């Protein structure tokens, strides 16, 4: 479970540049998403082997100049509530402003790590100007230049040291966590109410009725797990009120802390770009995924409708197409228990461990009949493979020239692995290493 770091501050201090600098520092970093869009306001990164999530609150500030102070205060308070650490960005060019002081007043009362980051310190003479920010009463500051990365290393060293220790993943007493995610008003709460047989959650036709991520222990028909109903996730442009921004943060954290994401969407609206973004957020966090097509009873159907609908979904999620798709109706309870059975199967597949001897016995003959193509006249030989002892399925193949193995062959290996072993709905990672 990764920690959440919030970037706060008034507009026009360089938060977006700083945010982009952090999330693009390493090749393995997940592309940034706002909630789950690609507007670059939510992302994952790591430093010195420590992974954490970044949320830039500044992009949510709306309204006229007169409203800025009030809106920033709201966003900072919400970020403080959810984040594990806070980066407070200020601008050395303008010095301390009234809005900076208002944010600082809030942060001085916080019991979490707060880092004062003075941006645009890209020349020696500006180091002296940065000393003015001692006046905010937040102690030491970190002078940086987000445009070229100067000073960010020292800041990140201090940040990862202050983050809370990672929770142990091998806590066997914890029940599996299934997060029901999707756009607002897709029927998530209705789905959970139908499952547990009572009106546990408020259901209305108004999008955004659910404001929080709420756990429900499910223990029926031999299944036992925590079911999490999350607030709907919208594009940043539509996240205008502070409560909805809070819901987005809670939903993002629910996805990150889940084992399986049950992605539920409205069949009458289709598998649109926003739903796809939620899917990729779950995939990039290496969560098991089950896709539920809700309100299927409202769709006019013929003999080919289901097959064509499923093909469109799989086309949209390429290359990760090995995902179960269940057509349901939360209102009529059509196939809702099939959906839960599928989610349990995906959870078991996600924790599937393959013996090294069996893995080599099956995969090496496949590789021998379909070896990697020669590169610059050099032949690549894969001699040994194994599953890594990680929480999510990861596999390593040892060979003489791993640098010459290209993406098409990696996809071939993944497809063969999925054909031979049951990893339906589970993202897997494949590495090639020198023996």
pLDDT for position 198: 56
Give the separation between CA 328 and CA 295, rounded to whole angstroms: 7
Between CA 89 and CA 76 the distance in angstroms is 12
In eight-state DSSP terms, residue 137 is S
Cα–Cα dist 375/88, whole Å: 49
pLDDT of residue 112: 85
Among 44-48, 60-64, 382-386, the minimum mean pLDDT is found in: 60-64
pLDDT of 221 higher than 50: yes
Looking at per-residue confidence, does 172 or 273 come out higher? 273
Compute the mean pLDDT over every residue in the chain, rounded to the nearest whole number. Answer: 75
The pairing of strands 50-56 and 42-47 is antiparallel
What are the φ/ψ torsions at residue 106 (nearest 5 degrees)?
Answer: -70, -45
Residue 205 has a pLDDT of: 39
Within 13 A of 309's CA, how many CA atoms are on the CB side? 23
Work out the average pLDDT over 288-296. Answer: 89
Q: What is the pLDDT of residues 185-203, one digit of tens each?
A: 777 778 877 877 654 433 3
pLDDT category at 327 given cuts 50, 70, 90 is: very high
Structure tokens, 32: 């940034």
Is the bond preceding 323 in cis, omega lying within 30 degrees of 0?
A: no
- pTM to 2 decimal places: 0.60
The CA-atom distances, in angstroms, between 290 and each of 234, 276, 324 are 20, 13, 5
């Amino acid at each position: 479970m990764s920690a959440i770091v919030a970037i706060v501050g008034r507009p026009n201090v360089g938060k977006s540049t700083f945010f982009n600098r952090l999330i693009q520092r390493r090749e393995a970093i997940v592309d940034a998403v706002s909630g789950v869009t690609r507007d670059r306001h939510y992302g994952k990164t790591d430093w010195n082997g420590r992974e954490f999530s970044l949320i830039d609150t500044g992009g949510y500030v709306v309204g006229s100049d007169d409203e800025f102070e009030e809106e920033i205060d709201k966003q900072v308070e919400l970020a403080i509530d959810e984040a594990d650490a806070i980066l407070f960005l200020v601008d050395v060019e303008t010095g301390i402003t009234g809005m900076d002081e208002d944010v600082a007043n809030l942060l001085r009362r916080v019991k979490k790590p707060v880092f004062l980051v003075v941006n645009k310190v890209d020349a020696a003479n500006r180091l002296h100007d940065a000393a003015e920010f001692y006046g905010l009463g937040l102690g030491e500051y970190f002078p940086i230049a987000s445009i070229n990365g100067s000073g960010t290393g020292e800041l990140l060293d201090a940040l990862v040291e202050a983050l809370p220790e990672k929770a142990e993943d091998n806590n066997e007493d914890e029940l599996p966590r299934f997060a029901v995610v999707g756009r607002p008003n897709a029927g998530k709460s209705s789905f959970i109410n139908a499952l547990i047989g009572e009106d546990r959650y408020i259901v209305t036709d108004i999008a955004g009725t659910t404001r929080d991520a709420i756990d429900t222990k499910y223990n029926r028909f031999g299944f036992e797990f925590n079911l999490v109903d999350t607030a709907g996730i919208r594009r940043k442009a539509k996240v205008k009120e502070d409560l909805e921004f809070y819901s987005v943060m809670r939903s993002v954290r629910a996805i990150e802390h889940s084992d399986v994401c049950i992605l539920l969407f409205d069949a009458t609206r289709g598998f649109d770009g926003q739903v796809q973004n939620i899917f990729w957020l779950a995939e990039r966090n290496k969560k098991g995924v089950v896709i539920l097509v809700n309100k299927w009873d409202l769709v006019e159907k013929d003999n080919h409708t289901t097959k064509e609908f499923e093909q469109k979904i799989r086309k949209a999620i390429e290359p990760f197409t090995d995902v179960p798709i269940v057509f349901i109706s939360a209102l009529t309870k059509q196939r809702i228990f099939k959906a839960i059975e599928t989610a349990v199967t995906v959870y078991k597949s996600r924790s599937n461990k393959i013996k090294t001897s069996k893995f080599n016995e099956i995969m090496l003959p496949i590789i021998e009949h379909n070896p990697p193509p020669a590169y610059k006249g050099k032949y690549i030989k894969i001699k040994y493979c194994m599953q890594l002892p990680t929480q999510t399925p990861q596999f390593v193949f040892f060979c003489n020239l791993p640098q010459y193995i290209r993406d098409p062959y990696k996809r071939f290996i993944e497809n063969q692995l999925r054909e031979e072993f049951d990893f339906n709905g589970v993202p897997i990672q494949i590495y090639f290493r020198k023996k």
